[in-house]
């Protein structure tokens, strides 16, 4: 609203019911509050921005009433209101608000035809799709269509992208019954460049969109947020087989090669675009068949064409008149008309390149090498910046679970059992018992198998969904985990009840830990608790990535992250203690055959390796969180930590703590830390500056060593039973880059700590300038680690 004038307008001839109030009195803050014709919510009265206006029911007015500019008066009156104050007439009801909607406004109603406007001119464009096009115009049209296609992939609706093309409108409306009907005009054009070359390109592009739409529509996605699947009552040629489009593209390429009167550079440009369309269509056509073929040739070929597309883009000539907003009037849409979305050719090619590269790298996750390796690969691929496109994420969702199998090779039950074996139950009778081997109901093994089948039915779906959750957009990942962690709290209690029933059946002996009373391992509930703690830590760390926390909250949030990590480390120590005891019993057991000893030793070795990796990673996270917590406490204590503008006017520390801990409130274990204890620990109450500095220095040193150890362990757990390991080069490189970015953040934290230590040793008051880098900037080394940049304050 800044810089725009507010006018009280008279009635429109097309809508005589619009009211007008002639010569309203001067506006004052009090008169604004009681204006019967308007209700405003003022978000910033000093700038008059974001004013929402609702009009009351229409009144009969004089048609000759003049206009009057009220901008200055309204601005003066609004400046006297408080920020955030709601100005509302108490008699303005919901019924009146709904009745005030304008349905004959060209901004709101795509079917509105102004007085004097010809209906045919309003709905149809004068552009002739049969007209001759130059080769330059064909190249330009192909590039424009590619930009609109990639804009659709980015999440913009078809009504603002591809469906604004007059050529595509003629192809799809009316719905073609045969491939011969799918022409720009039902009468063939005399121009072969249009009727064959451009037509083949457009048809192949529509079919490619059909493949993408079919994949995305059946997976988890968020409408208007990730992707818009609305087709506006149009058909994307889904009834036609892909072979028709490949044949048309081959004919178009052959015709282009035969032409002698077209410049060679233009011929190569058109040919390159046709070949790109052919390879892109073939790549999307493959879909889930990649599980069998493992072929990436088509996507690789697409990448090879992108450089030539970029170089030859300057040869094209844009045809803006071939795209029109009037087509929106013929689409089945419930939303107001929206402008055409334009993205640059460079952005379109960059998105295409990322899509193709991500699709190529998908092959590296198709070889199942255990649940831990599988989850690491999925999370690493989904954490790329920018995040993979919605088509890639939906394709991976389908690959994770296809026909009740993981990667088309491992059953969901086996996937769950493999994860249990890696973490808590290597070579356990609980996983090996099978009703097919033992048919006697009184046999303990039969009863164990029955109980475990019930466990699978209850836990398999939540466990698989926790893996698929990483394929959502980053905001939805955190939001989903905040909900599912409550379900896992209930699942843990169910698993504990099942553990009690299995103790007697499995004959597990109790173990005395630390001189206390004998206790049991509770493997299933321990596994569920591990999953829950992992999700709690993810909620906190993604809060930093999504910039949810204000600067004054950072000390407390890093302390709580450290608290969750220390709780998790204690739980892993308990699991390791019982696993060591199980290994000792396994070595002394006389029932084990010698031939089976190697397999059992390998299983225990893999579990110990898994625990070692988890422990090393948690130690690194814990130490880094402790260091940043101590550093931020010092900066806040000396009042040099930046704060959110005006935050104190709307909240307190206790209110902020309650809202941040909302996902943790329903959790029974670990218990939520009371605010008083949190406040005491988060502010390091009672500790001197020197003590806090020493704490930060020791923690950051330990963190750097732990992250180096994490990097040396590698991205994936090696299976000792397999002689050769297939390296996931691209994904492993992404994982290593992520760890190295964290190590760079550690170095940055070390520099900041030393800067604070140097100033504290010479001055009683810190004369420092603190900057917290924003997400996505180069100075933000890692999204999960908000390291402050500390510098000497410039002299006045």
The whole model's pTM is what?
0.85
One domain for residues 313 and 385 = no
One domain for residues 35 and 103 = yes
User: Which pLDDT tens digit goes with each residue over 573-600?
Assistant: 999 999 999 999 988 876 666 668 888 9
One domain for residues 143 and 104 = no
Helices marked H in 424-553 — which ranges? 429-432, 444-468, 474-506, 523-545
Indicate whether 116 belongs to any domain: no
Domain encompassing residue 41: 1-109
One domain for residues 590 and 728 = yes
Contacts for 706 with CB less than 8 Å, ≥ 6 apart: 616, 619, 620, 623
User: Which pLDDT tens digit goes with each residue over 7-24?
Assistant: 333 333 334 333 333 344
User: Number of helices (H) and strands (E), helices first, in the chain?
Assistant: 26, 10
User: Which pLDDT tens digit goes with each residue over 155-164?
Assistant: 999 999 999 9
| Mean pLDDT of all residues belonging to the chain | 87
| Cβ atoms < 10 Å from Cβ of 213 | 20
One domain for residues 468 and 583 = yes
H or E element, residue 86: strand 86-87
User: Which pLDDT tens digit goes with each residue over 206-217?
Assistant: 999 999 999 999
pLDDT at residue 230 is higher than 60: yes
One domain for residues 338 and 397 = no
Contacts for 667 with CB less than 8 Å, ≥ 6 apart: 485, 486, 489, 532, 536
Length of the chain in terms of residues written: 796
Q: What residues does 791 pair with on adjacent strands?
A: 769
H or E element, residue 792: strand 788-792
Indicate whether 126 belongs to any domain: no
Indicate whether 784 belongs to any domain: no
Indicate whether 790 belongs to any domain: no
**Token pair in block for residue 254:** 């052959």
Closest to 610 in 3D by CA, of 514, 702, 744, 716: 716
pLDDT at residue 415 is higher than 50: yes
| Per-residue exposure over 781-792, b if at least 16 CB sit within 10 Å of its own CB, e if not | bbbbbbbbebee
d(CA 76, CA 82): 13
One domain for residues 166 and 187 = yes
3-state secondary structure 6-47: CEECCCECCECCCCCCCCCCCCCHHHHHCCCCCCEECCECCC
Mean pLDDT, residues 494-508: 94
Indicate whether 115 belongs to any domain: no
Domain boundary among 319, 342, 365: 365
Indicate whether 117 belongs to any domain: no
pLDDT at 53: 39
One domain for residues 384 and 341 = no
What percentage of residues in the chain have a pLDDT greater than 90? 69
Assign 100 a pLDDT band (cuts: 50, 70, 90).
low
Closest to 604 in 3D by CA, of 596, 594, 616: 596
Angle at the Cα of 459 from the Cα atoms of 720 and 529, rounded to 5 degrees: 75
One domain for residues 327 and 394 = no
Query: CA dist 312 to 277, 308, 379, 432, Å?
Result: 16, 6, 37, 62
d(CA 189, CA 590): 86
pLDDT at 440: 82
pLDDT at 45: 36
Mean pLDDT, residues 381-406: 94
Q: Is the peptide bond before 483 cis (omega within 30 degrees of 0)?
A: no
H or E element, residue 140: helix 135-153
Indicate whether 118 belongs to any domain: no
Contacts for 696 with CB less than 8 Å, ≥ 6 apart: 626, 627, 630, 631, 634, 753
Mean pLDDT, residues 268-289: 97
The domain tally of the chain equals 3
Domain boundary among 305, 331, 365: 365
Q: Are 127 and 321 in contact (CB under 8 A)?
A: yes
Q: Is the peptide bond before 481 cis (omega within 30 degrees of 0)?
A: no
Q: Are 370 and 409 in contact (CB under 8 A)?
A: no
Contacts for 583 with CB less than 8 Å, ≥ 6 apart: 604
User: Which pLDDT tens digit goes with each residue over 25-52?
Assistant: 444 443 444 333 333 333 333 333 333 3
Indicate whether 103 belongs to any domain: yes
pLDDT at 686: 92
- Give helix 199-217 / helix 135-153 axis angle, nearest 10°: 0
Burial of residue 564, with CB atoms counted within 10 A of its CB: 0-12 exposed, 13-18 middle, 19 or more buried: buried
| Per-residue exposure over 703-726, b if at least 16 CB sit within 10 Å of its own CB, e if not | bbebbeebbeeebbbeeeeeeeee
One domain for residues 80 and 157 = no
Q: Are 488 and 528 in contact (CB under 8 A)?
A: yes
For residues 346, 348, 349 and 350, what is the CA-based torsion angle, rounded to 10 degrees?
80
Domain boundary among 340, 365, 390: 365
- Kind of pairing between the strands at 410-411 and 405-406: antiparallel
One domain for residues 45 and 154 = no
pLDDT at 674: 96
One domain for residues 74 and 149 = no
């Amino acid at each position: 609203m800044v810089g725009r004038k507010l006018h009280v307008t008279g009635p429109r001839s097309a809508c005589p019911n619009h009211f007008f109030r002639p010569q309203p009195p001067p506006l004052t803050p009090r008169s604004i509050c009681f204006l019967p014709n308007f209700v405003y919510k003022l978000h910033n009265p000093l700038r008059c921005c974001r004013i929402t206006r609702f009009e009351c029911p229409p009144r009969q007015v004089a048609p000759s009433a003049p206009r009057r500019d009220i901008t200055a008066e309204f601005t003066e009156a609004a400046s006297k209101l408080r920020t955030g104050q709601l100005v509302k007439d108490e008699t303005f009801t919901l019924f009146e608000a709904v009745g005030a909607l304008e349905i004959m406004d060209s901004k709101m109603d795509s079917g509105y035809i102004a007085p004097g406007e010809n209906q045919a001119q309003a709905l149809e464009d004068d552009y002739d799709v049969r007209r001759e096009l130059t080769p330059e115009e064909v190249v330009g049209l192909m590039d424009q269509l590619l930009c609109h296609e990639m804009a659709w992939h980015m999440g913009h609706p078809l009504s603002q992208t591809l469906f604004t093309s007059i050529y595509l409108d003629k192809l799809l409306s009316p719905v073609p019954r045969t491939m011969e009907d799918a022409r720009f005009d039902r009468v063939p054009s005399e121009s072969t460049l249009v009727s064959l070359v451009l037509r083949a390109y457009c048809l192949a592009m529509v079919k490619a969109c059909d493949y993408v739409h079919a994949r995305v529509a059946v997976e988890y996605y968020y409408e208007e947020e990730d992707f818009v699947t609305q087709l506006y009552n149009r058909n994307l040629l889904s009834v036609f087989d892909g072979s028709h489009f490949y044949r048309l593209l081959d004919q178009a390429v052959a015709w282009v090669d035969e032409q002698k009167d077209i410049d060679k550079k233009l011929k190569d440009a058109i040919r390159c675009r046709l070949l790109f369309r052919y390879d892109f269509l073939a790549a999307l056509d493959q879909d889930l068949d990649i599980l069998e073929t493992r072929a990436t040739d088509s996507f690789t070929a697409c990448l090879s064409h992108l450089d030539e597309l970029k170089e030859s883009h300057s040869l094209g000539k844009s045809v803006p008149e071939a795209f029109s907003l009037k087509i929106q009037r013929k689409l089945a849409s419930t939303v107001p008309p929206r402008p055409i979305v334009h993205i640059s050719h460079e952005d379109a090619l960059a998105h295409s390149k990322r899509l193709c590269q991500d699709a190529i790298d998908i092959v590296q996750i198709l070889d199942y090498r255990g649940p831990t390796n599988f989850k690491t690969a999925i999370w690493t691929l989904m954490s790329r910046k920018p995040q993979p496109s919605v088509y890639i994420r939906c394709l991976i969702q389908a690959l994770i679970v296809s026909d009740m199998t993981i990667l088309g090779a491992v059953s969901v039950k086996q996937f769950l059992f493999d994860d249990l074996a890696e973490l808590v139950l290597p070579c356990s009778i609980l996983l090996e018992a099978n009703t097919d081997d033992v048919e006697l109901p009184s046999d303990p093994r039969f009863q164990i198998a029955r109980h475990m089948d019930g466990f699978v039915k209850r836990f398999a779906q939540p466990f698989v969904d926790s893996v698929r959750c990483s394929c959502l957009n980053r905001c939805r990942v955190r939001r989903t985990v905040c909900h599912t962690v409550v379900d896992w709290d209930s699942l843990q209690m169910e698993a504990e009840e099942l553990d009690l029933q299995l103790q007697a059946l499995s004959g597990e002996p109790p173990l005395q830990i630390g001189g206390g009373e004998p206790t049991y391992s509770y493997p299933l509930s321990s596994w569920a608790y591990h999953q829950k703690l992992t999700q709690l830590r993810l909620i906190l760390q993604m809060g930093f990535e999504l910039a949810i926390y204000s600067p004054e909250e950072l000390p407390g949030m890093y302390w709580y992250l450290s608290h969750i990590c220390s709780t998790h480390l204690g739980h892993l120590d308990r699991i390791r203690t019982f696993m060591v005891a199980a290994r000792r019993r396994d070595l002394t057991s006389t029932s084990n055959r010698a031939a089976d000893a190697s397999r059992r030793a390998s299983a225990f070795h893999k579990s110990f390796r898994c625990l070692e990796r988890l422990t090393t990673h948690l130690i690194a996270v814990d130490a880094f969180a402790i260091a940043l917590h101590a550093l931020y406490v010092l900066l806040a204590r000396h009042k040099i930590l930046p704060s959110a503008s005006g935050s104190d006017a709307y909240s307190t520390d206790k209110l902020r703590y309650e809202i941040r801990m909302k996902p943790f409130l329903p959790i029974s274990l670990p218990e939520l830390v009371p605010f008083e204890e949190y406040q005491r620990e988060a502010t390091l109450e009672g500790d001197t500056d020197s003590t806090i500095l020493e704490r930060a220095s020791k923690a950051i040193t330990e963190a750097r060593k732990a992250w180096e150890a994490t990097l040396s362990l590698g991205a994936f757990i090696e299976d000792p039973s397999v002689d050769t390991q297939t390296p996931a080069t691209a994904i492993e490189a992404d994982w290593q880059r992520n760890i190295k970015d964290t190590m760079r953040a550690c170095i940055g934290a070390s520099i900041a700590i030393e800067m604070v230590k140097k100033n504290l040793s010479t001055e009683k008051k810190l004369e420092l300038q603190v900057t917290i880098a924003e997400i996505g900037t180069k100075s933000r080394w890692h999204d999960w680690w908000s390291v402050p940049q500390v510098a000497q304050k410039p002299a006045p």
